Amino acid sequence: ETGVTQTPRHLVMGMTNKKSLKCEQHLGHNAMYWYKQSAKKPLELMFVYSLEERVENNSVPSRFSPECPNSSHLFLHLHTLQPEDSALYLCASSQAADSGTEAFFGQGTRLTVV
Amino acid sequence: GQNIDQPTEMTATEGAIVQINCTYQTSGFNGLFWYQQHAGEAPTFLSYNVLDGLEEKGRFSSFLSRSKGYSYLLLKELQMKDSASYLCAVSNDYKLSFGAGTTVTVRA
């Protein structure tokens, strides 16, 4: 496999559930990101990891919890979500987090909270 | 903070040219990106400008004026497959901040 892969592609969860989104990059990049994409709104940066350390946390509610066990894998743990959290969650990676390097995106996980 | 503006929608005819403008106000600047996103798919990289001027890549060109906080993406010889959302994004520090995207519809 090449590029950035995300699983699952689709997820429906209740507000009391706990689930995790997974992202894996095969590009040898040092930075990984989580974005939220809602209809008709800009992509919202949620978290940035550089060399497995979190370097940016954009005031995201604590019901979203990221984990970066190594430079190739990124998780987003979800618990007690709200219906307004329904969106497309995109993972991306880039060579470095602190320079103008191209980001490669995964296909995203379409999350529906019921 | 970041403020990135681009038109919501544009429509053009197959074979024509369309120019998508993007204006931005940011604290710090490491370059400006354009991405293409087809419905239900991941955004894919189109271009990157960090110096003023025009970058040409086949049918697509991108222009940047840092002093004006302005960029445009020029799509030439439009094809039906170019129907997509085009995202303007500004890089600074650890952030890549996006505009809301411009949906381009190409008509036969």
CB contact under 8 A, A104 and B45: yes
Q: What is the per-residue pLDDT for B64?
A: 98
- The pLDDT mean for chain A works out to 92
What is the CB neighbour count within 10 angstroms for residue A114? 10
- Of the listed ranges A9-13, A27-31, A95-99, the least confidently predicted one is A95-99
Residues from chain A that touch B87, judged by Cβ atoms under 8 A, are 43
CB contact at 8 A, B97 and B4: yes
pLDDT band with cut points at 50, 70 and 90 for residue A41: confident
CB contact under 8 A, B4 and A42: yes
Position A33 pLDDT exceeds 60: yes
Of B11, B73, B18, B7, whose CA–CA distance to B45 is shortest? B73
Closest CB from B42, B45, B93 relative to A98: B93
Position A1 pLDDT exceeds 80: no
Position A30 pLDDT exceeds 80: yes
Q: What is the per-residue pLDDT for B96?
A: 85
- The residues on A that touch B, with CB distances below 8 Å, are 4, 31, 33, 40-43, 45, 48, 50, 55-56, 90, 94, 97-100, 102-108
B7 or A59, which is more confident? B7
pLDDT, block means (10 residues), chain B with 108 residues? 88 97 91 94 93 95 97 98 96 85 96
pLDDT band with cut points at 50, 70 and 90 for residue A60: very high
Parallel, antiparallel, or unpaired for β B102-107 and B9-13? parallel
- Residue type at B100? A
Q: What is the per-residue pLDDT for A97?
A: 79
Q: Answer whether B70 touches A (CB < 8 Å).
A: no
B93 or A110, which is more confident? A110
CB contact at 8 A, B103 and B39: no
